[in-house]
Structures are given as C-alpha cells and as structure tokens.
C-alpha cells in the first residue's frame, strides 16, 4: 500500500526560534521531507526569525547543516536541498523588541496561508502574539503553533492561554504534542472506530486493565537543569501519556471533527480519579555503567525530582469503572519503547483447563521503536500430541504494511505541520484540555512536595524501582516485560 501525498495550499511559515535546537532537529528537516514528498508547494516560503544577526545566506547555511545532520542520507539530494533552501529566508527579530517587524510585514504575502511557529521559550509566546497583532502581521485566519511545555501548573497554563487569547482566537491556536502526530496514535482511533470488532469489547466488562509505557534509555544529561524543575510528571505524564490515555478511553465522537474529538478527550480527563499516594511510585536513577546518577546529571545533589513515575489511575464513568489504567515512564531504562497494552480478561470458563491454559488476549499499540499493532491470540500448538495452547501475535508493523520497502513513516512533525497549513486542529490540544490536565496533575505534585517525598533509587538499564513492580503485583497483575 503506497501512501498518497496531497499538496497543501501555498503558505508563508514564520519560524520563530529558527536558530534553535528544535528547529534544526525536527522542524526544518520535517519541512524538507514534505518538500521532497511533493507536499510543500514550490512557492511556499519559510521565514526564519530569532535575535541572531544573520542574512538569508547565513540562514540557508544553517538550514543546510541541520539537514545534513538530521535527515537520513538516502533523502539528502543536492539539487532538492538547493531548491528547498531557495524557499528559506531570515529576518532578525527580538520577541521583546520592535526591530524587524516592519520588514516581516513587508515580506508576508496577503493571499496565502500564514502560519507562525513559536519554537521559543513559553515566556515569549505572549510578547510574540501581541506584536504579530499590533504590527498588523497576523490576520483572522493566520495560524499559531506553540511548543510544549504549555505551563508548569494550572495557573501558568491559564496565563499562557490568556496571553494567546488576547491576540488570537482558539480556532487559530495549534498546541503541539508530537505524540498525537504518530501514525499509530491515529490508527488507534481507526482501529477503535472503523471496525466492528473492538468497540463492543472496549469496556470494563472485557478489558482487565490498560498499561501505557513510555520508556527511554537516555538520561537527562544536557538538559538536566531544565528537567530538574519539571520531572517525569510534568514532562511526560501531564501531556503525552495523558493524551494516549484519553484516546484509549474516550467515547466515540459523533464525527471525526476537531472539537467533537477534543470534547470527548476532555470528558475523560474530567472523569479521572485523584491518585492516592499509595498508588504512585516515583524513582530517580542511580549512577551506573551507562553514566552518572540523576542528581549528578541535574547538578543538584539534593534533588527530589523524579526521573521515573508509575501510577494506577481510575476513571469514574460507566465504561471504565473498575478497569485501572497503569502508566509508567522513565529515563535510563532498559529499552526505548512506547506502547499501549490493552489487556483483555480471561474467557469466563476455560474448556481447555486440563490440556493447557488459555492466556487472555492483549492488543498492543506500539508507538516506538517500530510503529504498529499486534493482537495476541490463543491457538492450538501445531502438531499431534494433545490440545496444547500457545499465544501468537497477529502482527501489523506499519512500515511493512503501509509502505514500499525502505520507505520511512513520516515523522510526527511532518504530519502536524501540514495539518496546521490545512487548518485541521484534530491532532492538537485545546486550551481547556490542557487546563483540565493540569487541574488533575497539580494536587498530585503538591502532595509529594508537601510530604517532601524522596523518590526511590533505581538502577540504570532497569525497568524502574522494585516498588513499581509491586504496584501491579498487589493487584495480581504484572507489567509487560520491557525486554520482551
């Protein structure tokens, strides 16, 4: 099956923070790959902006270096890169100053889609939004893209929403969570809502529990100072894991439209039970052969910030009452893996008990490393010798199923940026959703700050602290082995 590429309308994309890490690592390579795929029109333009003094040639050199570093060799074509660079230009602008705005206004065309990407610190969102309006650069249908973190608690998120709302309508604001741009995440919705097989079983009657894991092998070295003010709860759970939980747990929207879908996600967040401290485990990695301890990486010997968190969450609604969702995420773990496991219940009565146990079905939705899904099925072990049962996966790895051999699945940023140009907010978080997620998260964090709770130490290259295993053991369940 070959994926179709539908070109988007032509656009002027202003990339604030164009000299930064995210622009080099993700945004510019993603735009180049869409250009290569024929989706970015030949007259679309990318206007880089940041404080650094630079001319167009200097910026093109920077973009070219980023493409060399972050685009795979197979996709680096000299002529194509040259053509892409011709669509890039640069204007020095300080978000808090008045220089450069007149030049930007002059450079923007009237009859094209206008998008402004804020790949800068959140403290600059308000000043940038205000100046785009006051200088008459943004108009009614301009789009604004903002990066995470969207606040550090409910109060700061409300302030950011208010800063943006002072200059832009909610329908113009695209809050990025790159997890939502993953092929698998959208396929989770397709599998649930476009097949008759799963939805009748998708509830507390047939699902024993759900596990959501986002495990990383890297530590926090390099961005330790930032991470130490955040921790796994703010950095991963409040946004990425929360979004995965919502898409797994939500009711079917009446139509696949941005606000209808986001309404359903919001209902899930509002139905989340508060988490008791006995149902939550925080961890911090120790020094090991892979590198220094968390505290050394964070350059804070007294740090109590968690680099790992596991928790049990209840959802108080008709569909899920009694079916727990277990979440875990951590740094320096044994394997880099993101997945959702929907663990079905055992059959009500096993007719095979004397000849072999029938393990329950599980649907695994893999986000990384190899995006795809598998459904574990119980079948008879082939051959004579009685009725022995085995569990085999029905595997669908998207790279095999959806693309010609060697074809890469588009990066989440590629899809999300093109959705911005198309004006489709489905895969972006709405302001009230973000606030609701913080309203649920804040009391949990306040609880451990008040108790001055110390995270459990865990070994690098492990699955996290032992206490996280116990969280499931006492419910007679076990985490999926990360080494599986």
User: Catalytic positions, please?
Assistant: 240
Q: Is the preceding peptide bond at 369 cis, omega within 30 degrees of 0?
A: yes
How far, in Å, are 7, 324, 439, 449, 477 from residue 442 at the CA level? 42, 21, 6, 11, 28
To the question of whether residue 148 is assigned a binding role by annotation, the answer is yes
Contact 386, 355 (CB under 8 A): yes
- At 446, is the secondary structure helix, strand, or coil? helix
Residue 124 contacts ligand NAP per CB under 6 A: yes
To the question of whether residue 178 is assigned a binding role by annotation, the answer is yes
Residue with tokens 């939805």: 199
What CA–CA distance (Å, rounded) separates 55 from 187? 43
Burial (CB count <10 Å: 0-12, 13-18, 19+), residue 91: buried
Residue (235 or 435) nearer to ligand NAP, CB:
235
Instruction: In angstroms, give the least distance from the CB of 124 to ligand NAP.
Output: 6
Instruction: In angstroms, give the least distance from the CB of 234 to ligand NAP.
Output: 12
Instruction: In angstroms, give the least distance from the CB of 226 to ligand NAP.
Output: 8
Task: Rule CB under 6 A: choose which of 36, 90, 122, 459 binds ligand NAP.
Answer: 122
What CA–CA distance (Å, rounded) separates 102 from 87? 20
- At 233, is the secondary structure helix, strand, or coil? helix
Residue closest to 358 by CA, chosen among 344, 370, 372, 369: 344
Residues in the interface with ligand NAP (CB under 6 A) total 24
Residue 120 contacts ligand NAP per CB under 6 A: yes
Stretch of 74-82, 92-100, 289-297, 366-374 lying at the interface with ligand NAP (CB under 6 A):
92-100
Residue (146 or 342) nearer to ligand NAP, CB:
146
Q: Give the alpha-carbon dihedral of 108, 113, 114, 118, to 10 degrees.
A: -140
Stretch of 14-22, 214-222, 251-259, 354-362 lying at the interface with ligand NAP (CB under 6 A):
14-22
Q: What is the DSSP letter of 240?
A: I
Stretch of 72-80, 94-102, 154-162, 358-366 lying at the interface with ligand NAP (CB under 6 A):
94-102
Task: Rule CB under 6 A: choose which of 62, 85, 91, 95 binds ligand NAP.
Answer: 95
Residue 135 contacts ligand NAP per CB under 6 A: no
Task: Rule CB under 6 A: choose which of 22, 201, 402, 457 binds ligand NAP.
Answer: 22
Residue nearest ligand NAP by beta-carbon distance: 20
Cβ neighbours of residue 324 closer than 8 Å, sequence gap 6 or more: 209, 210, 312, 313, 314, 475
Positions in 332-391 near ligand NAP (CB under 6 A): none
Positions in 140-169 near ligand NAP (CB under 6 A): 147-149
Instruction: In angstroms, give the least distance from the CB of 52 to ligand NAP.
Output: 3
To the question of whether residue 235 is assigned a binding role by annotation, the answer is yes
150 alpha carbon, distance to own chain's centre:
13
Residue (8 or 176) nearer to ligand NAP, CB:
176
Residue 447 contacts ligand NAP per CB under 6 A: no
Contact 296, 287 (CB under 8 A): yes
Residue (121 or 225) nearer to ligand NAP, CB:
121
Tokens at residue 272, please? 């989340």
What CA–CA distance (Å, rounded) separates 474 from 312? 12
Phi and psi dihedrals of 301, rounded to 5?
-65, -20
To the question of whether residue 380 is assigned a binding role by annotation, the answer is no
Stretch of 90-98, 193-201, 256-264, 449-457 lying at the interface with ligand NAP (CB under 6 A):
90-98
Stretch of 115-123, 275-283, 305-313, 342-350 lying at the interface with ligand NAP (CB under 6 A):
115-123
What CA–CA distance (Å, rounded) separates 258 from 238? 20
Residue (23 or 129) nearer to ligand NAP, CB:
23
Chain residues binding ligand NAP by CB under 6 A are: 16-23, 25, 50-52, 93-96, 119-122, 124, 147-149
């Amino acid at each position: 099956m070959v994926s179709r590429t539908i070109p988007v309308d032509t656009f002027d994309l202003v990339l604030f923070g164009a000299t930064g890490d995210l622009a080099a690592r993700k945004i510019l390579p993603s735009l180049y790959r869409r250009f290569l795929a024929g989706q970015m029109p030949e007259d679309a333009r990318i206007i880089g902006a940041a404080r650094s003094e630079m001319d167009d040639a200097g910026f093109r050199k920077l973009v070219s270096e980023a493409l060399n570093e972050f685009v795979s060799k197979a996709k680096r074509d000299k002529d194509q890169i040259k053509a892409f660079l011709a669509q890039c230009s640069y204007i020095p602008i300080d978000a808090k100053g008045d220089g450069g705005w007149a030049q930007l206004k002059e450079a923007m065309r009237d009859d094209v889609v206008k998008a402004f990407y804020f790949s800068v610190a959140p403290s600059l969102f308000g000043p940038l939004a205000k100046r785009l309006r006051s200088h008459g650069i943004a108009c009614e249908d301009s789009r604004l893209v903002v990066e995470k973190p969207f606040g550090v608690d409910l109060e700061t998120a409300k302030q950011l929403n208010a800063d943006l709302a002072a200059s832009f309508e909610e329908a113009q604001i695209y809050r990025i969570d790159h997890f939502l741009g993953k092929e698998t995440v959208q396929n989770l919705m397709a599998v649930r809502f476009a097949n008759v097989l799963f939805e009748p079983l998708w509830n507390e009657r047939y699902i024993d529990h759900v596990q959501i894991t986002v495990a990383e092998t890297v530590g926090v070295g390099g961005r330790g100072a930032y991470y130490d003010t955040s921790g796994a709860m703010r950095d991963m759970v409040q946004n990425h894991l929360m979004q995965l939980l919502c898409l797994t747990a939500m009711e079917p929207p009446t139509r696949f439209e941005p606000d209808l879908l986001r309404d359903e996600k919001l209902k899930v967040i509002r139905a989340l039970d508060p988490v008791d401290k006995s149902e939550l485990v925080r961890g911090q990695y120790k020094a090991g052969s892979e590198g220094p301890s968390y505290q050394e990486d964070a350059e804070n010997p007294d740090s109590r910030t968690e680099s790992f968190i596991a928790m049990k969450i209840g959802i108080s609604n008709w569909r899920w009452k009694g079916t727990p969702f277990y979440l875990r995420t951590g740094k320096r773990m044994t394997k880099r893996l993101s997945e959702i496991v929907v663990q079905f219940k055992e059959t009500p009565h096993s007719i095979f008990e004397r000849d072999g146990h029938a393990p329950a079905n599980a649907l695994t939705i893999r986000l990384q490393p190899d995006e795809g899904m598998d459904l574990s099925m119980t079948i008879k072990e082939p051959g004579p010798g009685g009725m022995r049962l085995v569990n085999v996966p029905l595997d669908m790895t998207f790279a095999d199923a959806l693309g010609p051999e060697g074809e890469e699945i588009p990066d989440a940023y590629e899809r999300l940026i093109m959705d911005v140009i198309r004006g489709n907010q489905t895969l972006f978080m709405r302001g009230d959703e973000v606030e609701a997620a913080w309203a649920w998260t804040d009391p949990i964090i306040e609880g451990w700050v008040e108790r001055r709770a110390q995270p459990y130490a865990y070994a690098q290259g492990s699955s996290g602290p032992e206490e996280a295993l116990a969280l499931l053991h006492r419910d007679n369940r076990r985490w999926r082995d990360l080494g599986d």
